[in-house]
Amino acid sequence: MAENFKYTPQDFKSDQEVRWCPGCGDHAVLSAVQRALPEISDALNYDIERYVFVSGIGCSSRFPYYVNTFGFHGIHGRASAISTGVKVANPKLSVWQITGDGDALAIGGNHFIHAVRRNIDINILLFNNEIYGLTKGQYSPTSKLGSITKTSPFGTVEHPFRPGELVIGAQGKFFARSIDVDVKLTSEIMIEAAKHDGTSVVEILQNCVIYNDKTHSLVIDKEYREDRTIVLRHGEKMIFGKNRDKGLILSGISLKVVTIGQGGFSMDDILTHDAFEANPGVHMMLANMAYPEFPVALGVIRNVKDSTYDDNVRDQVLEVMKTAKIKSVDDLLNSGETWEIK
């Protein structure tokens, strides 16, 4: 990037008409991405040509058309496979995968968990509206138990995936969560995701106004949000509430919500968030917290450094090249037993 040149959000807006339903949470996420990319470019010295947005199938998967970057609109459930191929083929690219709870966790479930396990340096934005929106309202792998949908008219009998639990269980090193309506927090998280070397997964609690309206409302509506969510930041106390008087402590091997100043609990008793802790135990508990027993955790929950798949591939190739007798395709074709046909 040219010295002293700075991108603006406008530079990342394409000329395509945004075709999401009015009121869809995807609009806010798009805005957050377009705000974050200039800051990422400035922090990491990235040109606009360095970005690639990859998607599968679903409402969220229209995303590559709406950002002024390179993009690939793939097929259902295969966004992780395509993102992996793009990154391994050209490790210099900043690859962003846009996916939904159905695209990533149903037909794309195996690709998703193995991308996470391999720790490929890609950034996955997982839009979670707990429904299949594009195909008109079937229940998804994250739909709440008992949800009434077009394919579960009497209520689902399936226990849903918890994306954070799935990511951490697949040896994920970066997991964060945001909500569609908080553009500032989403942008902040995406900047941290971009800086992380390895697979980053950002779950975004997103609203589908047509087929699953207000699915997250008990947690994220303004009147409740401060008491029912907690924004985690590394090195800060785990406190929340409108009066900032509630916090999290460890009680035995479990988390517990307490009120500061009551029951003998002071600020000193409240846990300090350590996103860099390699042991996933507390991170798993934080990712799994659910209302009404706990506040829902937002922000960067886990951010642990480890070797990446793409770096390991590069290092292996360089090591093999030192002693390899085969240096080219011609060498390969003429290696081993050969015959001359006359």
**Rounded mean pLDDT of 60-74?**
97
Residue 19: per-residue pLDDT: 95
DSSP single-letter state for residue 9: G
Residue 339: per-residue pLDDT: 80
**Rounded mean pLDDT of 218-237?**
96
Residue 3: per-residue pLDDT: 64
Cα 303 to its chain centre, rounded Å, is 12
Residue 5: per-residue pLDDT: 84
* CATH code for the domain defined by 9-236+273-309: 3.40.50.970
Residue 101: per-residue pLDDT: 96
Q: What percent of the chain has pLDDT over 70?
A: 99
Global pTM?
0.94
Residue 332: per-residue pLDDT: 86
- DSSP letter string, 258-293: EETTSTT--GGGSPBP-TT-S--HHHHHHHH--TTT
**Residue 13 pLDDT level (bands cut at 50, 70, 90):** very high
DSSP single-letter state for residue 170: T
Q: Is the bond preceding 292 in cis, omega lying within 30 degrees of 0?
A: yes
Taking the domains of the chain in order of start, what are their residue ranges?
9-236+273-309, 238-271
Asked if 97 contacts 123 with a C-beta cutoff of 8 angstroms, the reply is: yes
Residue 118: per-residue pLDDT: 97
SS3 163: helix
Would you say residue 195 has pLDDT above 80?
Answer: yes
Mean pLDDT of the chain: 95
Q: Judging by beta carbons within 10 Å of its beta carbon (0-12, 13-18, 19+), is residue 297 exposed, middle or buried?
A: buried
Q: Judging by beta carbons within 10 Å of its beta carbon (0-12, 13-18, 19+), is residue 341 exposed, middle or buried?
A: exposed
**Rounded mean pLDDT of 184-193?**
98
Model pLDDT for residues 143-180, shown as the tens digit of each residue: 999 999 999 999 999 999 999 999 999 999 999 999 99
Would you say residue 46 has pLDDT above 70?
Answer: yes
Residue 16: per-residue pLDDT: 96
Residue 57: per-residue pLDDT: 96
DSSP single-letter state for residue 11: G
Question: What letter represents residue 300's amino acid?
Answer: V
Residue 1: per-residue pLDDT: 61
